[in-house]
């Protein structure tokens, strides 16, 4: 997927050691299909050379408002009109203050001031020392820039070049890339709270063994990311998987089905949408050994009894909020055969308005999937595609069905 295909960015660099990260961000934007025009302040050139940024962007770097390459001598007009967005990364405390007051004494600030506000958004990636970040003046400036329509991408926390540790680091390029991609996604769920379960559950037999399944959690994590991109506040209850948490998503890690239900129930009381993608174990061992069950060479196998796990989707779907329509519930069915019949039967059994079916063995661990949407009117196929692409399409489908 090229999430930024056809987009053109002006990538502005103000002075700061985080300029080295701008090189990776430039490359990442281009890999996502965008074109990038770099504009640097004089201070930025003290940290990274225009030659480096020219090599990465494939375009000559601009630094002066008097650049003679522009026939009309107006690079601040020409470059801003061509852009889908201006991204300032890094954006120093000084440059934030300059933007706040509308100062325009060099090309980059002049271009930000001259851009058509309603057509060319301004995205800022602050980068500074922790004390500079926490200073009331910086916080006031940031609040006013936000009120003026700039989009603040936030900061990271950790070790800083000055030797101190705290907030104020520029976000890492992969984080910035996700935030930039999310910025351009339609905000179909703005103001909504979405609850997602994802991954397998693990039902312990003894301290080292248990019953689980092959679910990787990738589909559920993609849905959580897509819902967050769509403007929702997202809580992700995840079984034992090793996937990174999507940007801006609150994650709760659990192991067993009972733990997943316990974590899910309180959030379902205030969510607008519940999407149950987790592959929850239907049964668990009736008893759990406190010590590893050892074989003794006799050839005898342990006598395991099983008991049924709680049905998380059906439990949440029976809540008064779900029955009244205040909570829209979406189930998932991972089948090995007879997908249409099994998915239709599961939707009726669980009592949910929408159920999404797929063939589990064909998708567990894969980067793509094919889905079947099942509701009271019938079924509809979503052809095989990358999981994130399907997740965005599913989120759009859910948004259309909300009251």
| Positions marked catalytic | 162
CA distance 34 to 307: 53
Distance CA 373, CA 354 (A): 7
- Cβ neighbours of 254 (radius 10 Å): 21
Q: Compute CA distances 350 → 213, 282, 330, 345, 346, whole Å.
A: 21, 14, 10, 9, 6
Q: For the chain, what's the residue count?
A: 403
Q: What is the b/e burial string over 196-223, where b = at least 16 CB atoms within 10 angstroms of the residue's CB?
A: bbbbbbbbbbbeeebbbbebbbbbbbbb
The number of beta carbons lying within 10 Å of the beta carbon of residue 377 is: 7
Q: Give the Cα separation of 372 and 342 in Å (integer).
A: 11
| Cis, bond preceding 298 (omega within 30 deg of 0) | no
Distance CA 125, CA 299 (A): 64
DSSP code at position 62: B
Helix (H) or strand (E) holding 219: helix 218-229
- Look at residues 285, 339, 278 and name the one whose alpha carbon lies nearest to residue 311: 278
Q: 56: Cβ–Cβ under 8 A, 6 or more apart, which residues?
A: 23, 26, 27, 30
Q: Which of 19, 25, 393 is nearest to 179 (CA)?
A: 25
Cβ–Cβ < 8 Å for 336, 361: yes
Pure H helices in 150-217: 173-183
Helix (H, G, I), strand (E, B) or coil at 139: helix
Provide the terminal-to-terminal Cα distance of the chain, rounded to the nearest Å.
Answer: 31
Looking only at Cα atoms, what is the longest distance across the chain?
A: 91
């Amino acid at each position: 997927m090229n999430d930024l295909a056809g987009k053109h960015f002006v990538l502005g660099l103000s002075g700061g050691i985080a300029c080295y990260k701008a090189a990776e961000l430039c490359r990442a934007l281009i890999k996502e299909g965008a074109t990038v025009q770099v504009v640097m302040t004089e201070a930025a050139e003290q940290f990274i050379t225009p030659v480096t940024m020219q090599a990465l962007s494939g375009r000559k770097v601009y630094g002066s408002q008097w650049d003679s390459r522009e026939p009309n001598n107006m690079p601040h007009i020409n470059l801003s009109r061509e852009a889908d967005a201006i991204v300032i990364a890094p954006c120093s405390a000084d440059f934030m203050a300059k933007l706040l007051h509308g100062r325009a004494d060099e090309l980059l600030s002049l271009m930000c001031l001259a851009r058509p506000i309603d057509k060319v958004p301004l995205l800022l990636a602050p980068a500074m020392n922790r004390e500079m970040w926490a200073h009331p003046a910086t916080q006031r400036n940031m609040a006013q820039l936000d009120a003026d329509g700039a989009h603040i991408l936030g900061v990271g926390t950790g070790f800083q070049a000055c030797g101190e540790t705290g907030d104020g680091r520029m976000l890492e390029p992969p984080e910035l890339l996700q935030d930039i991609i999310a910025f351009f996604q339609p905000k179909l769920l703005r103001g909504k709270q979405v609850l997602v379960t994802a991954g397998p559950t693990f039902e312990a037999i003894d301290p080292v063994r248990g019953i689980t399944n092959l679910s990787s959690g990738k589909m559920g994590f993609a849905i959580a990311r897509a819902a967050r991109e769509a403007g929702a506040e997202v809580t992700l209850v995840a079984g034992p998987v090793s996937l990174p948490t999507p940007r801006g998503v609150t994650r709760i890690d659990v192991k067993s089905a009972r733990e997943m239900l316990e974590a899910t129930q309180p959030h379902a009381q205030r969510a607008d949408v519940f999407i149950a993608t987790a592959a929850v174990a239907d049964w668990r061992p009736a008893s759990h050994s406190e010590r590893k069950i050892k074989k003794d060479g006799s050839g005898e196998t342990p006598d395991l009894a099983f008991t049924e796990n709680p049905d998380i989707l059906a439990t949440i779907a029976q809540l008064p909020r779900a029955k009244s329509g205040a909570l829209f519930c979406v189930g998932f069915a991972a089948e090995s055969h007879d997908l249409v019949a099994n998915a239709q039967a599961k939707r009726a059994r669980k009592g949910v308005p929408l159920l999404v079916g797929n063939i589990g063995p064909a998708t567990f661990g894969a980067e793509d999937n094919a889905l079947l949407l099942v509701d009271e009117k019938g079924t509809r196929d979503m052809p095989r595609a990358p999981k994130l692409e399907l997740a965005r399409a599913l989120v759009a489908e859910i948004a259309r069905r909300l009251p």
